Structure 1
Amino acid sequence: MRSVGSGLAAIQRAGHRADVYLSRPGKRNAMTTDLVKDLTEAFRRLDADDDIRAITLLGEGPVFSAGMDLELVSQRAESDPISDDAFPQLLSLVESVRQPVVAGIKGAAPATAFELTLACDLRVLGSDATYGLVETNMGLFPQGGGTQRLPRLIGLSKATELVLTGDYIDPDEAERIGLVHEVCDPGTVDDCARALADDIAEKAPLAIQNAKKALAAALEMPLERGLAYERSLGETLRDTRDVTEGVAAHIEDRDPEFTGE
Structure 2
Amino acid sequence: MGTVMLGTEVAKAMKERLIQRAEAMKEKGVMPKLAILRVGARPDDLSYERGAKKRMELTGMASQVVELPEDVSQKKLEETLEALNRDTSVHGILVFRPLPGHLDEEPLKQMIDPVKDVDCMSPVNMAKVFAGDDSGYAPCTAEAVMEMLDHYGIDPEGKKVTVVGRSMVVGKPLAMLLLKRHATVTTCHTRTADLAGTCRQAQILVAAAGKAKMVTADMTGEGAVVLDVGINVDEEGNLCGDVDFEAVEPKASFISPVPRGVGSVTTSVLAGHVLRAAESISGVK
Q: Please say whether Structure 1 and Structure 2 have the same fold, judged by a TM-score greater than 0.5.
A: no
TM-score normalised by the chain length of structure 1: 0.34
| Structure with higher helix content | 1
Which structure has more relative contact order (CA 8 Å, sep 6+)? It is 2
